Amino acid sequence: MDIRLPQLTEGADSGTVVNVLVQEGQKVKQGDTLLELENQKAVAPIPSTLTGTVTKIHVKQGQVLSVGQVLISVTEETGAAAPAESGAAPKAAPSAAAPASVLPAGPTSDFEYQSASGAPPPASPAIRKMALELGIDLRKVRGSERGGRITTADVKAYLAQLQQRAAGSKTPAAEKIPFEKWGPVTRKPISPLRKAIAQAMVRSWTTIPHVTQFDEADVTALLKQIEKHAPAYEKDGSRLTLTTVLIRALVPVLEKYPVFNSSWDEAAGEAVFKQTIHMGVAVDTEAGLIVPVLRNVEKKTLLELGRELPALVEKTRQRKLGSEELQGGSFTISNQGGIGGRHFTPIIHAPEVAILGVGRAAKGLLPLALSYDHRAIDGADAARFITALVERLQAFPDQEIRR
Amino acid sequence: MTVEPIRTEVVVLGAGPGGYAAAFYAADRGKKVILVEQDKRLGGVCLNVGCIPSKALLHATALLREAKESEKRGIAFGAPVLELEKLRAWKESVLEKLGQGIRGLAQRRGVEVLQGRGYFEDSHTLRVETDRGQKFVHYDTAILAVGSKPALPSAFDLGNKRIMTSSEALDLEEVPDDLLVVGGGYIGMELGTVYATLGSKVVLVEAMGSILSGMDADLVRPVAQYAQAAFREVRLNTKVSKMSTSGKQIRVILETGGEKKEELYDRVLVSVGRVPNCANLGLENTKVARDDKGFVRVNEKQQTSDPSIYAIGDVAGGAMLAHKAAKEARVAVEVITGEESAFRGVVMPAVVFTDPEVAWCGLTETEAQARNIAVQVARFPWGASGRALTFDRPDGLTKLILEPETERILGVGIAGHGAGELISEGVLAVEMGATAKDLAETVHPHPTLSETLMECAESFYGTSTHIFSRKKPVKETPE
């Protein structure tokens, strides 16, 4: 029979072998330490769950293991601790109870199901199967139904809680993969900017429940307007572009639906509504994505924006921005149209609650993707918001463009 | 001559309710499967000499009892005419239909059926003795589902066909005048009922102090009452010390509390348990380990000590129930196909098809006492059920075993007409982690026996419509 790596504690589902303490041919007893495993929390002994003779060791020192991986194979001795009670029909006792205490408990749920009768936590067979597949210990899940019965929603809430905690703590060291094995590779250190982007993305993605609302605006007329008036702007040292028009088009919509210009302050338990609109603009640089902020766009004309934005973009590309210019945004726009993409799901730039993704217009139709934080905003609001924006773009007031 | 081995991913040895379920499920999941069965007809003990024939006979003979009962209600039929040959043929036709059904299902799934006895040459090779000679099956994984057979202690094995096990008793060769049933477990009780109804004078002896030993006493009571009336005698705490042939009869020496009695019977049915079919399988050529009673040892994934061999059903020990084998079949196949699965926390129902039937699932009151688990028990006697009275069977009881703190239903027990069909709601309740409140709040149709489950839950709160209770039942704490 095989002995596999048990679930150690919540969140600790992998580790590195520090020491293998048994040899092939050696006799082991249930409870004997087979090997020592190190994870981000501690070095822990992994005990044998069986009694018998080791026939094969499947792991070696330094190897990274994950839960369920076979550690060693053991030939069981007849008459030794039975693998299953053949007497009682309902094998009720969860057999993997032992490993739970192997490692000092990490920052896991403080809830633990207790039952005087020793019955496992009440949950339907479907949920128990799901827990088995996910490697969840249902005793740690607080059931919300009568008698503490665990529902799918309870399991989801528990998972979200685990994820949040995992995101809060350091991410475990990733497994070292021997890419060279499959062909020559080049290795480059990850730049600090890239690392910062990665961290910001992981934080946004894991803490914000994202929903993306799609729509298209017919910008045939708008593009003609822009084309017509662009030369006049150029004469005044400004650039009339779809991006600046989009920013202006967003202003009245954000004013009408201020929740899209708010922040979700979890700690204070407050929604923070901002009186000004500071527009983050996603800029593609050689080093990677940077989002500088245009201040008070609600007070600025297209002419002003047409001067400020190109200057800001240039400064961004030269990496000459001050940290002030990267902070305090209240909404972000990411226009990929200049590059050519059409549909994508932008990730919200926390602590903002929404972002507008814009693709390349084709046959006059401009793809719009509004990602929003579902904690703060509901789908109906998002639909209203994007509809208002589409209407605004399809009938953008000529007097605002005309010089 | 060398024989080219047949290659397969999965071989299932034994086509009983565990084996064919495993073969079909593995095929449904895309495996190449060979099903090996020594008998011509698929279905194993359950279909051929177990559940199905016994239930067919119980159904057929129940009519005799009903007809007799009917006289007092003003509907009489006169003396019944018994044609044993026809009864046997009808029973046989049921088995044949089901056996063919399984064969058809195997065919449509592309499961190859090999008829013959299987023998393990090593951990990956099964030799099958077919009527066309030896065949060798080389497999990745084997599922051992060879089942069990009735135990016949050597002291009783006189080579006399008048001493029967359940298998022979179901053949119904004749209706003996005097029948001794040794063993008051469910098989002895069910078959004793069949023969008693057909006209045998049945004496049932049981070594323990109760029939259906291990079951809650209040659930056994209606069955014991019935048996006392229908059998000539139910003798408890009694052992058979000797059996011998005496002309066309069997001479039996029975011992009750040190007192010996010698009696003559036309036939004896020995129903003292079942033993695993592990002999002559070549298990010694594999790494499969067995326990001291001969059952194959498995873990909760149905894995034996041999990495390429799984075991399910009776041969793997535990409750010898077809539906337990079928559940284990699913677990084994899921593990083999890489899915996370385990036979863990499964609520296993059991039904005894006596008259009346007894069924239970989850925790029993007896088990709670033995394991010192504090429970509360709610009972609803069928005398208060309108439906039970309409067919003259108030001899029933529905009970719930509850966890006091949470009112969660840990077990359900039912004795009474149709209990076997009623228990499934109890199984679902226990599996779902339902509470007495859940059951009480769920509307049940009137007039049905299923109402007894709802009213039983209501009675726990002292609010059952059809029984009056002064207050909530007191907490029952085991000593």
How does pLDDT run across A298-338, given as a tens digit for each residue?
999 999 999 999 999 998 888 888 777 888 999 999 999 88
Q: How many Cβ atoms from other residues are within 10 Å of residue B9's Cβ?
A: 16
What proportion of chain B, given as a percentage, has pLDDT over 90?
A: 93
- Which member of B59, B124, B444, B446 is catalytic? B446
According to CATH, what is the number of the domain B163-272?
3.50.50.60
**Would you kindly state where each structural domain of chain A is located, as residue ranges?**
1-76, 107-166, 195-401
Of B303, B342, B348, Cβ closest to residue A89: B348
Q: Do A128 and B345 touch (CB under 8 A)?
A: yes
Q: Do B297 and A84 touch (CB under 8 A)?
A: yes
Mean pLDDT of chain A: 83
Q: Is residue B127 predicted with pLDDT exceeding 90?
A: yes
pLDDT at A322: 76
Reported as a pLDDT band with limits 50, 70 and 90, residue B354 is very high
Q: Which of A13-27, B54-68, B239-253 has the lowest mean pLDDT?
A: A13-27
* CA-based nearest residue in chain B for residue A135: B340
Architecture of domain A195-401: 2-Layer Sandwich (3.30)
Reported as a pLDDT band with limits 50, 70 and 90, residue B429 is very high
Query: How far is A178 from A185, CA to CA, in rounded Å?
Result: 10
Q: Do B297 and A82 touch (CB under 8 A)?
A: yes
Q: Do B408 and A91 touch (CB under 8 A)?
A: no
Query: How far is B88 from B91, CA to CA, in rounded Å?
Result: 5
The alpha-carbon radius of gyration of chain A (Å, integer) is: 29
Return the bridge partners of B376, or none: B402
The answer to whether the CB of B390 falls within 8 A of the CB of B418 is no
pLDDT at A176: 77
Q: How many Cβ atoms from other residues are within 10 Å of residue A334's Cβ?
A: 23
- Give, as one character, the DSSP assignment of residue A179: G
Q: Which of A24-33, A262-271, B318-327 has the lowest mean pLDDT?
A: A24-33
Q: Do B433 and A75 touch (CB under 8 A)?
A: no
Mean pLDDT value of segment A183-201? 85
How far apart, in Å, do the first and last CA atoms of chain A sit? 82
The answer to whether the CB of A80 falls within 8 A of the CB of A15 is no
- Give the Cα-Cα-Cα angle B134, B136, B142 (nearest 5 degrees): 130
pLDDT at A94: 36
The answer to whether the CB of A73 falls within 8 A of the CB of A92 is no
Q: Which of A172-181, B64-73, B310-319, B402-411 has the lowest mean pLDDT?
A: A172-181
If you search the block for the tokens 């400064």, which residue do you land on?
A: A315
Of A84, A118, A124, Cβ closest to residue B298: A84
Q: Where are the CATH 3.50.50.60 domain residues in chain B?
A: 6-150+275-336, 163-272
3-state secondary structure of B408: strand
* CA-based nearest residue in chain A for residue B340: A133
* CA-based nearest residue in chain B for residue A51: B305
3-state secondary structure of A370: strand
How many residue pairs from chains A and B have C-beta atoms closer than 8 A? 124
Of B373, B404, B432, Cβ closest to residue A124: B432
Query: How far is B431 from B220, CA to CA, in rounded Å?
Result: 24
Preferred mutation among B186, B286, B291, B293 to probe A, highest tally of A CBs within 10 A = B291
If you search the block for the tokens 């006792």, which residue do you land on?
A: A93
Tell me the residue length of chain B: 479
Mean pLDDT value of segment A237-247? 94
Pick the CATH number of B6-150+275-336 from 3.40.50.1820, 3.40.50.620, 3.50.50.60, 3.30.1050.10: 3.50.50.60
Mean pLDDT value of segment A1-20? 68
Q: Is residue B35 predicted with pLDDT exceeding 60?
A: yes
Mean pLDDT value of segment B263-287? 96
Q: Which residues of A touch B (CB under 8 A)?
A: 1-2, 73, 75-76, 78-79, 82-92, 94-95, 115-125, 128-129, 132-133, 135, 143, 146-150
Q: Do A149 and B373 touch (CB under 8 A)?
A: no
Q: Is residue B185 predicted with pLDDT exceeding 70?
A: yes
Q: Do B307 and A2 touch (CB under 8 A)?
A: yes
Q: Is residue A83 predicted with pLDDT exceeding 50?
A: no
Q: Which of A65-74, B299-308, B371-380 has the lowest mean pLDDT?
A: A65-74
Q: Do A123 and B433 touch (CB under 8 A)?
A: yes
Short-list B116, B355, B156, B111, CA closest to B265? B156
In order, the DSSP letters of B140-162 are EEEEE---EEE---TTT--S-TT
3-state secondary structure of A361: coil
pLDDT at B470: 63
* CA-based nearest residue in chain A for residue B438: A146
Q: How far is CA A313 from CA A251, A300, A319, A344, in A?
A: 20, 17, 10, 22
CATH top-level class of A1-76: mainly beta
* pLDDT tens per residue, range A248-295: 999 999 999 999 999 988 888 889 999 999 999 999 988 888 899 999
Contacts 24+ apart (CB under 8 A), A227-231: A229/A401, A229/A402, A229/A403
What are the backbone angles phi and psi of residue B311, rounded to the nearest 5°?
Answer: -135, 140
Mean pLDDT value of segment B147-174? 95
If you search the block for the tokens 């990850």, which residue do you land on?
A: A190
Which residue type does A207 have?
T
Q: Do A146 and B343 touch (CB under 8 A)?
A: no
Reported as a pLDDT band with limits 50, 70 and 90, residue A166 is confident
Q: Is residue A1 predicted with pLDDT exceeding 80?
A: no
Of B291, B410, B437, Cβ closest to residue A119: B410
Find chain B residues with C-beta within 8 A of A126's C-beta: none
Mean pLDDT of chain B: 94
Query: How far is B413 from B155, CA to CA, in rounded Å?
Result: 37
Tell me the residue length of chain A: 403
The answer to whether the CB of A264 falls within 8 A of the CB of A353 is yes
Mean pLDDT value of segment B121-135? 95
- Which member of A58, A229, A343, A374 is catalytic? A374
Residues 6+ apart with CB under 8 A from B422: B359, B398, B414, B416, B449, B450, B452, B453
What proportion of chain B, given as a percentage, has pLDDT over 70?
A: 97
Of A94, A95, A148, Cβ closest to residue B406: A148
Short-list B433, B389, B431, CA closest to B73? B389
Find chain B residues with C-beta within 8 A of A78's C-beta: 289-290
Q: Do B299 and A83 touch (CB under 8 A)?
A: yes
Of B340, B371, B431, Cβ closest to residue A124: B431
According to CATH, what is the number of the domain B356-460?
3.30.390.30
Q: Look up residue B172 and give its two tokens.
A: 């119904």
Pick the CATH number of A107-166 from 3.40.50.620, 4.10.320.10, 3.40.50.170, 3.40.1130.10: 4.10.320.10
Decide if B417 is catalytic: no
- Give the Cα-Cα-Cα angle A287, A289, A295 (nearest 5 degrees): 125
3-state secondary structure of B425: helix
Burial of A74 (0-12, 13-18, 19+ CB in 10 A): buried
Min Cα–Cα distance to chain B from A63, Å: 23
Mean pLDDT value of segment B380-396? 95
Residues 6+ apart with CB under 8 A from B406: A115, A122, A147, A148, B435
Preferred mutation among B344, B401, B476 to probe A, highest tally of A CBs within 10 A = B344
In order, the DSSP letters of B19-68 are HHHHHHHHHHTT--EEEEESSSSSSHHHHHHSHHHHHHHHHHHHHHHHHH
Find chain B residues with C-beta within 8 A of A95's C-beta: 299-300, 342, 344
